[in-house]
């Protein structure tokens, strides 16, 4: 067999390397022909383990690669405040910065010597307004009543009570001049209550700017005489105070405080609901059919609505 260019011939039993005792490097065998001429110090020097070095280099490469990516952390300042801290990739815009440009946060805060300040070009996001919950009112407990006798000489059996407050009304106590009225003064025939509630709802739906209507006395639970009134004895009469110009939910003291336009609209609703009579003040200027809308003393602050007696 002859020599070929670039070949090196070694003896078959020659050992080139031997494992070190500590396992961290390999040492050269002094009998390797390829290392003839090297000093004893060079031959004794440890050579790094190739596999371990390869793993170390790959780990370092991954660390540097991850370091170039944007890292984000949240600094929690309180139950409802959290700061988002982001570092962009050096040398140019990162994907994170591009995302922030497309979908910016509601407000970016910058931490400096003066504390937390909004970063330039960012706006505070307004919290969505919470929807106001509609207040809950007591439901009407309907009963089948019987109206006895006349409005000024009668009584009431199993009357229905109007709640002291509802979505379209509040009640006024003429004895104490205060809101609300006493529950025992708010009983009526169920048909009276149904028409009253329907009229007030339709009136406010047609006039959204109108305040709730102030309702006064109706009848006692068993009917009969009621102080301050000659009628209101059998659950067919209702006092309704004129809407005020200042929208306050209380009885007007003078006719100058009365909103005549809203008062006329309220009166017209009761007429359309089948009121038998409506007593009004002389100076209110309210109009209606003759013998139905009747000017009457001591009614400058309220309508006195009377419904027909239902057939038993």
Q: Given this model, what pLDDT does residue 10 score?
A: 52
Tens-place pLDDT, residues 217-259: 999 999 999 999 999 999 999 999 999 999 999 999 999 999 9
State the architecture of 146-306 in CATH terms.
2-Layer Sandwich (3.30)
For residue 42, name the pLDDT band (cuts at 50, 70, 90): low
Out of 51-55, 102-106, 173-177, 184-188, pick the least confident: 102-106
Of the two residues 44 and 104, the one the predictor is more confident about is 44
Query: Is residue 23 over pLDDT 70?
Result: no
List of residues 6+ apart from 153 with CB closer than 8 A? 233
Out of 50-64, 95-109, 169-183, pick the least confident: 95-109
How many residues comprise the chain?
Answer: 312
Of the two residues 7 and 177, the one the predictor is more confident about is 177
Q: How far apart are CA 296 and CA 33, in angstroms?
A: 136
Strand partners, 190: none
Q: Given this model, what pLDDT does residue 45 score?
A: 59
Q: Given this model, what pLDDT does residue 62 score?
A: 82
Of the two residues 223 and 85, the one the predictor is more confident about is 223
Tens-place pLDDT, residues 159-177: 999 999 999 999 999 999 9
Query: Is residue 20 over pLDDT 70?
Result: no
Tens-place pLDDT, residues 249-305: 999 999 999 999 999 999 999 999 999 999 999 999 999 999 999 999 999 999 999
Residue with tokens 């504390």: 115
């Amino acid at each position: 067999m002859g020599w070929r260019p670039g070949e090196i011939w070694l003896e078959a039993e020659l050992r080139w390397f031997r494992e070190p005792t500590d396992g961290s490097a390999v040492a050269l065998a002094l009998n390797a022909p390829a290392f003839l001429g090297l000093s004893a110090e060079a031959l004794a020097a440890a050579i790094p383990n190739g596999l371990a070095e390869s793993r170390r280099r790959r780990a370092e490469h991954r660390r540097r690669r991850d370091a170039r990516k944007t890292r984000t952390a949240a600094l929690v300042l309180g139950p409802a405040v959290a700061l988002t801290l982001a570092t962009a990739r050096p040398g140019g815009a990162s994907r994170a910065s591009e995302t922030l440009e497309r979908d910016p946060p509601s407000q970016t805060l910058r931490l400096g010597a003066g504390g937390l300040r909004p970063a330039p070009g960012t706006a505070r996001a307004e919290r969505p307004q919470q929807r106001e919950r509609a207040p809950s009112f007591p439901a009407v407990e309907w009963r089948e009543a019987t109206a006895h006798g006349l409005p000024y000489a009668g009584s009431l059996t199993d009357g229905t009570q109007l709640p002291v407050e509802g979505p379209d009304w509040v009640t006024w106590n003429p004895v104490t001049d205060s809101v609300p009225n006493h529950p025992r003064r708010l009983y009526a025939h169920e048909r009276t209550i149904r028409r009253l509630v329907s009229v007030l709802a339709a009136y406010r739906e047609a006039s959204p700017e109108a305040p709730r209507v102030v309702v006064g006395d109706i009848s006692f639970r068993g009917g009969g005489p009621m102080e301050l009134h000659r009628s209101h004895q059998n659950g067919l009469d209702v006092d309704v105070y004129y809407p005020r110009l200042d929208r306050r939910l209380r009885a007007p003291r003078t006719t100058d405080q009365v909103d005549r336009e809203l008062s006329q609209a309220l009166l017209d609703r009761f007429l359309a609901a089948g009121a038998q009579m409506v007593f009004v003040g002389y100076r209110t200027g309210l109009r209606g059919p003759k013998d139905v809308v009747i000017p009457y003393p001591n009614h400058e602050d309220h309508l006195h609505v009377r419904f027909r007696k239902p057939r038993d």
